[in-house]
Structure 1
Amino acid sequence: MLWWRQDDDERETDDEVEVRGRSVLVLISHYFPLLEVLDLSYPLHCYHGAVELSHLKKLRKVNFSGHSDINDKSLLHLFKSCKVLEEAIMLHCFDITFDGIAKALRERPTLRSLSFSKTNGPVKVRYESAYTTSHFISSLSLKCLASLDLLSSNISDELLSSIATERLPLTRLVLQYCIGIVQVLGICCNIRHLNLSKCSMVKLEMNFEVPKLEVLNLSYTNVDDEALYMISKSCCGLLKLSLENCNDFTKKGVNHVVENCTQLRKISLDGCHKVHANIVSSMVSSRPSLRQITAPPTRTGAFSARKVKYFLRQGCLVC
């Protein structure tokens, strides 16, 4: 594994940075031909250098996050050259488009993990046509893709439908900060990890079982008691549930989860102001599998030492 970072005290002109950056990539490419993991994320200065990695025939994982000058052309060249590439991380790469990724991925059908975003949050999302977003998935044949991260993207129903149609073998899906989501579950029967944190609009339609889902993050969403009931019935194998700063459900929804998710080990209720902290005692006693609870706000401050010790004797850490 190799990281490259520039020192803060270096003072160079833009041209010097460009030349040195390209030189570094040339050196990496020529002197580390067996390199498998390369992390060039969030440099102090950006430079056009992705095309210089063609000699890294063994490269399996690359991280170009924060390279605002990496574009569709350089990405295509990289994916063509690195034939055993399995994981690509390209968060906050503003000049890469969905269409560009689709073309690059057709050159690398063995990819197992893709992380991509354009922005730091939903406000600056660039809207692309339904055709483009749908084409992003429907044009692919990524039968090995197990992890997909579309942080801060504009997700359309067409894109989600395309994911379902392609029957990608996804076990991990991250749509954090995404907008425009209407339905999200049921697209992949093998999903184990789903992150919908801070999605501006989420509607869970789950009239089916999702038995393999183990980790679900719904923090900062509008999930309510009814949704939690549906989740508890459809995702009874949940191990971890994050509901931080969700203020549309009550103890009724929490009780649904505790009752039906018989393997639940961790749950976070931090910032859930409609749920009183006194629910924690009943949660611990009624669900022995619980090992950690992040409690909702309490008006009296932290739990007493005696109470905390009691929870620990039951095998559960309450914080």
Structure 2
Amino acid sequence: MELPEECWESIFGFLEHHRYFEPLSLVCKRFLSITNHLRRSLTITDPTLESLPHLLLRFPNLTTIAFRDFHGNLDSVLSLISQSGLPLTSLDVSCHKCFPLLGLKCLASKIRILTELNCSNIGSLKDSDLIEIGNCFPSLEVVDISYPDHGCGFSPNGSLDSKSFSGLVTDYGVLGLASSLRRLRKIDLSGNTFITDQALVSLSSNCMFLTEIGIRDCDFITQNGIALAIRKTGNLKSIFMNGIGIPSIDVCFLDSFSYARSLCKLDLSNSFISDELLCLVAEANLPLNKLVLSRCFCFTFDGIYFLLSKYQFLAYLDLEGANFLNDESIIELAKFFGNLTFINLSLCSKLTNSTLFNLMGNCPLLTIINMERTNLGVEAFPAEIVVNPRVKSLHLGWNNNLNDECMKMASYVCPNLEVLDVTYCSGITEEGILEVLKSCVQIRCLEISRCQGVNNLELDFELPKLEVLQAEGLAINDEALASIGKRCGRLSRLNLEGCLNVTARGVEGVIVNCKALKEMNLRWCNNVSVDIVAWMVLSRPSLRKITLPCGSVPTANQRNFFLRHGCLVCQG
């Protein structure tokens, strides 16, 4: 019985990422047509440019386009996109040297329904650009103009060189933007160091639907301004800021949380906060589900205990750098962690194995644990070990005492682990890593860079789901690399930077067997001959980026040749 297209679309819709459409598209012309119409997002890179007109025709329902590692003419590409007739709603042009004013104007003449625009880390962003954004796309709901790159220079006497600025974002530009974007829901102003409280006044006065504000590293925004914004923005659900409490916390700021009736997400990173502030937040009875106190100072266990006792429905908790925490205090706090799905305890140097395994045993919904730069590997395991199939990601890098025994126990407790990061964990050997890989067959991403104890990694079993392997600086050889190629059929990204024992023979084993490979980093792999690069590009059409060994620089003709085959080849 032949299924109608609607049924196939529903079935394919369960796939978590469009990268899984590729093998389906090769089955038959019908599946190719269905997957083409289901594709909603496209990332444009240098290798994409030549085939872009074809891609815009192939995927008629694209709603999201992002530019990554793109060094071409952004204005001309946006002009091309404007002619495509796509139902585009989201555009990311972040991290480019110049604001693409002409391209955005051209796009706006054809596509006025854009609701999300990311212009973060754009070079020379200025007030007039913000005003044009508002004029071009009045339907915008989400805007990111954070951390503009003005390439600030300094004069010989050490003072700021004003000539290095071609313009700045000020309160005037934010007012112009806010006046045009009546539907604005989210805005990130972080890193715009010359805006003041007046910018927040403009937003809260003009944007009635505003629910999220980002104001990290905005030096002239005061606690009074933040308090006013919280009071006047009745729908505010999320605010992220830093540097609060320098030199002290104002009374108006303390009192403002009693007005934030809708606040769900609060980020006070890198601030000098007090137990008094935490108690006032606790007593405000907010619908808080995300709390970030990363690298904050001046609060104590009593303050965080009281706050967490009031917000036992938190799903996301970041206490990075809270050095007063120890294993016993985490046991006390864990009784409030029943709904946590994410916790970050990195840089809490007193935490040991006890904390890691108690969290796994006492937090039934926990899926992501960050405990980098702690004291893992020290102290015995808890008497009662509970298997937690919910845990999917462990980020345990820079723990020098972490050892194979701990890895084996983690693999037992987390059978469904998908992401493991043990970067710079010198006490782990290949024995511990192999034990994890054997037990956790769902592993998609493995980061073992600079693990000095891992001398080799020969696989004699399949890793059907591994997609990313970060193996920078390891002593693996060609035999180990060949076994990785044979056993990891889904591998798409491989980082071998600084793997001095690898030669062209090992690279060939990966290229031949890994049919989904997209990126390979060979920087500092000085025993790999660059003569193999052309063969790599021609033999594995899926390749999109290769970083050459150091000292190897492709000529312009070579670079263009590889780009025509869809692969960006970068010098090491």
Q: Distance in 2 between matches of 1:188 and 1:104?
A: 19
Question: 8 Å contact 1:138–1:163 — kept in the other structure?
Answer: no
Q: 1:108 aligns with which of 363, 367, 387?
A: 363
For 1:197-208, list aligned pairs within 5 A.
197-202=449-454, 203-208=456-461
Q: Which residue of 1 aligns with 2:512?
A: 259
For 1:1-319, list aligned pairs within 5 A.
1-3=238-240, 5-7=242-244, 9-10=246-247, 20-31=273-284, 33-43=286-296, 47-48=300-301, 49-51=303-305, 52-119=307-374, 128=378, 132=380, 135=381, 139-153=385-399, 154-166=401-413, 168-178=415-425, 179-183=427-431, 184=433, 185-202=437-454, 203-299=456-552, 302-319=553-570
C-alpha deviation, 1:20, in angstroms = 4.8
Question: 8 Å contact 2:370–2:396 — kept in the other structure?
Answer: yes
Post-superposition CA distance 1:172-206 (Å, at most 9, x none): 11111112323213231110011001111113242
Question: 8 Å contact 1:236–1:262 — kept in the other structure?
Answer: yes
Question: 8 Å contact 2:354–2:382 — kept in the other structure?
Answer: yes
C-alpha deviation, 1:271, in angstroms = 1.8
The verdict on how the C-alpha distance between 1:249 and 1:46 changes in structure 2, with shifts beyond 3 A counting, is farther
Is the deviation greater in 198-207 or in 309-318? 198-207
Q: Distance in 2 between matches of 1:68 and 1:148?
A: 20
Question: 8 Å contact 1:57–1:83 — kept in the other structure?
Answer: yes
**Counterpart code for 1:191:** I
Question: Which structure carries more helix by proportion?
Answer: 2
Identity %: 31
Q: Which residue of 2 aligns with 1:15?
A: none
Post-superposition CA distance 1:129-165 (Å, at most 9, x none): 5xx2xx2697132121111122123333322332343
C-alpha deviation, 1:288, in angstroms = 0.4
Q: Distance in 1 between matches of 2:560 and 2:383?
A: 51
Q: Distance in 2 between matches of 1:47 and 1:4?
A: 20
Is the deviation greater in 54-63 or in 221-230? 54-63
1:241 aligned counterpart, secondary structure: strand
Question: 8 Å contact 1:40–1:65 — kept in the other structure?
Answer: yes
Is the deviation greater in 198-207 or in 231-240? 198-207
Q: Distance in 2 between matches of 1:92 and 1:64?
A: 9
**Counterpart code for 2:331:** L
Post-superposition CA distance 1:64-87 (Å, at most 9, x none): 112211222332233211321111
Q: Which residue of 2 aligns with 1:122?
A: none
Q: Distance in 2 between matches of 1:212 and 1:87?
A: 23
Q: Distance in 2 between matches of 1:40 and 1:169?
A: 29
Question: 8 Å contact 2:485–2:510 — kept in the other structure?
Answer: yes
Q: Distance in 2 between matches of 1:195 and 1:257?
A: 18
Question: 8 Å contact 1:54–1:82 — kept in the other structure?
Answer: no
Query: Taking structure 2 as the reference length, what is the TM-score of the superposition?
Result: 0.50
RMSD (Å) for aligned C-alpha atoms = 2.5
> Structure 1 regions of 5+ residues with no counterpart?
13-17, 120-124
Q: Distance in 2 between matches of 1:191 and 1:138?
A: 25
Q: Distance in 1 between matches of 2:540 and 2:421?
A: 28
Q: Distance in 2 between matches of 1:109 and 1:8?
A: 35
Post-superposition CA distance 1:240-271 (Å, at most 9, x none): 11111211111111111111111101111112
> Structure 2 regions of 5+ residues with no counterpart?
1-237, 250-270
Q: Distance in 1 between matches of 2:242 and 2:521?
A: 36
The verdict on how the C-alpha distance between 1:163 and 1:44 changes in structure 2, with shifts beyond 3 A counting, is closer
Q: Distance in 1 between matches of 2:300 and 2:519?
A: 43
**Counterpart code for 1:128:** V
Query: Taking structure 1 as the reference length, what is the TM-score of the superposition?
Result: 0.86
The verdict on how the C-alpha distance between 1:191 and 1:137 changes in structure 2, with shifts beyond 3 A counting, is farther
Is the deviation greater in 225-234 or in 43-52? 43-52
The verdict on how the C-alpha distance between 1:254 and 1:46 changes in structure 2, with shifts beyond 3 A counting, is farther
Whichever of the two has the greater Rg, that structure is 2
Post-superposition CA distance 1:45-76 (Å, at most 9, x none): 56434313221233111111122112223322
**Counterpart code for 1:264:** L
Q: Distance in 2 between matches of 1:204 and 1:137?
A: 32
The verdict on how the C-alpha distance between 1:28 and 1:56 changes in structure 2, with shifts beyond 3 A counting, is same
The verdict on how the C-alpha distance between 1:45 and 1:276 changes in structure 2, with shifts beyond 3 A counting, is farther
The verdict on how the C-alpha distance between 1:167 and 1:35 changes in structure 2, with shifts beyond 3 A counting, is closer
